[in-house]
Chain A
Amino acid sequence: MTSDDTVLLDHGAGGKASHAMFSEMILPLFHNDQLAQQDDGAVCEVPAGRMAFSTDSYVVDPIFFNGGNIGDLAVNGTVNDIAMCGAHPLYISVGLIIEEGLPIKDLQKILETMAQAAEKAGVKIVTGDTKVVPRGKADRIFINTSGIGIIPEGVSVSGSRARPGDKIIISGTIADHGMAILSAREGLEFESDLKTDSAPLNHMVKSLLAAGHDIHVLRDPTRGGVGTTLNEIAAGSGVGITLFESALPVKGQVKGMCELLGFDPLYIANEGKLIAIVPEHHASRALEIIQADQFGKDAAIIGEVTDQYPGKVFLETAIGGRRLVDMLTGEQLPRIC
């Protein structure tokens, strides 16, 4: 297999080509004891207690974009989903569905960034599967990752635990990922150096939980953005939420692109940000801990939980007005006038 080759149906057929791909490309990158066993599943040591388990599939288009690709996105995404349960992620599985004809060098690059992302997050990729489908039956590559993590004793984090008076913290600038993808998409020729914010947040969560404070809610506002995630929390906890527009951290570039396209940054995806909802008396300390993390420098308190209008999210606008922030319905599309 050379870097000039492309993925063929043979690579997913379970025969010699499949074995060669596993032993020559995948195993050297993801190497760990469980994977090296090459059994039907991974057998892993886990401490006693509660476990978090999550799965997610990645179909992003384009597969390569500024600051990352579908590979690290898939690892970070599942790492973060587990971390948002208050757990320390340990093991990840990877399912690859590849369209025949994908250049081997693209696959190699994706696998390399997955290995790097796993190392950064401190998780092991212990089991996986590769399928190759005929041209046109998939779009280059789809990746599923699942993972498990262990929840420390005493930790209880849930979207149903927001309480009136709590403060809402975002760990950095919003809408970076969605706008980076959009600017890389064919047809929109933005001159932008905007990068995805894709990052593992488990170390930040670990620091937050280790400080011993009562963290009520942790969520990563991915698809649907901060607006949709907060609506889910408001509904799940039976509380109202007020956001302050002037406190929302948004990069100038992102703001500019959103203005031009008629998008609201509150509904644009993030891949390396978390929302932490904490009691008021813990808020400033929690903010300091998040800001001390390499992925949390621009963290800010952006709102508060109220007992008004349960299930609803409101925004206090910069000019002193007030409006509803509803859940995203459908896909945001560029405006036409």
Chain B
Amino acid sequence: MGLKYIEEFRDADLAKTLITCIRQESKKPLRLMEVCGTHTMAIFRHGIRSVLPDSITLLSGPGCPVCVTAQKDIDVFVAFSRLENVIVTTFGDLMKVPGSGTTLARQKAAGADVRIVYSVFDAVAIAKQNPKKQVVFCAVGFETTIPTIAAGILMAEEQQLDNFCIHSANKLTPPALAALMETEGVNIDGFMLPGHVSVITGTDAYRPVFETHHTPSVIAGFEPLDILQAIRMLVLQNETGIPALENAYTRAVTDQGNPKAKAVMHQVFTLCDAVWRGIGTIADSGMQPNSAYSRFDAGARFNLDLPEVSEPKGCACGDILMGLKTPDTCALYKRTCTPMTPVGPCMVSSEGACAAYYKYA
């Protein structure tokens, strides 16, 4: 199973041409934010920062789903793992994220039934295989993941499974961009918009935010040439003074996005307010099962009365997610907060800005 067209988008000669253009065209200092965690990792992995001129600063945004998961949601996942006859199913990234007390990984080591799955459909299958147990899926993800979670709920409904439910910590990208631009002190000259999310949402989803704030915005793919091309487009928009919402990932992203995925998402879910770690509550930025599917909402099935918690002192995850700080300026970075002993989720998630800095910088 080889993948086609990878090498083409890592072509060294084309990359050099783009780098030369960026170096020649970039005059004024720019702070560009890559919104998506996958972009953060790709930028580090391909050494893109090291080839850019000093005038360009890349900031990592709030686009890593684990990183923006509120501590309270982690506590809820952990609380489910403490219940009798409950199987908690989760993506691997969440295992080591610390809640206010412990982690799912430690709960598993202590005997809780916590299972890593690669897709929500695996969780549905586990529910089918274990009819005497309740299966809770820790739903964390953006527009890329939400349609498949919706499809998982539809599958559970079709199979008449009454032992499958989700706790939704799902989040939407455009409301976060709007909230970011309205936050005092935030200073961003351009957004590199997430490719995967945009495949679902389409370019049009960003238009209201763009029309309000006129921040240069380019949707980018994840290969080095995609990223360099998007950076060049953001440089040109800034240098010409003409902001635009552009799509540099036309081989995957359309204006309207994926109508089928969006339809499934809205069939099962409804908008809700969501707490973003370090940023706070953003109105209508989350999605929870709507009234027709509320029986699949773990919150409706279990009565967990958890205390309010505050985020760990000194953890700068919030400021980092908004581009106000870089990981290396956090007082905890590499001291008490490392990938082995993460304090905040930006260090534990493989796509978190702090983990990327620690690993590659």
Q: Which residues of chain A have a CB within 8 Å of any CB of chain B?
A: 187-188, 190-192, 246, 252-253, 255-257, 259-260, 262, 264, 315-324, 326, 329-330, 332-337
Contact = CB atoms under 8 A, between A and B. Distances in A.
A324 B361 CA distance: 6
B122 interface: yes
A276 B1 CA distance: 30
Contacts of B118: 187-188, 334
Nearest to B125: A187
B46 A317 contact: yes
Given A187-B122, A335-B351, A337-B65, A318 B10 contact: yes
B12 interface: yes
Nearest to B196: A337
Contact of B92 (A319, A329, A333): A333
10 contacts: A259-B6, A319-B10, A319-B19, A320-B47, A323-B46, A324-B361, A334-B92, A337-B37, A337-B142, A337-B351
A329 to B, nearest CB: 4
Contacts, number: 115
A-side interface mostly:
loop
Contacts of A315: 47
Contacts of A334: 91-92, 118
Contacts of A316: 47
A187 B37 CA distance: 25
Contact of A187 (B3, B46, B117, B196): B117
B95 A333 contact: yes
Which of the listed residues A260, A326, A332 has the most CB atoms from chain B within 10 Å of its own CB?
A: A326
A253 B16 CA distance: 27
Contacts of A190: 1
Nearest to A256: B3
Given A321-B46, A329-B340, A337 B350 contact: no
Nearest to B93: A336
B47 A323 contact: yes
A315 B144 CA distance: 31
B66 A336 contact: yes
Which of the listed residues A317, A321, A329, A336 has the most CB atoms from chain B within 10 Å of its own CB?
A: A336
Which of the listed residues B45, B117, B140, B228 has the most CB atoms from chain A within 10 Å of its own CB?
A: B45
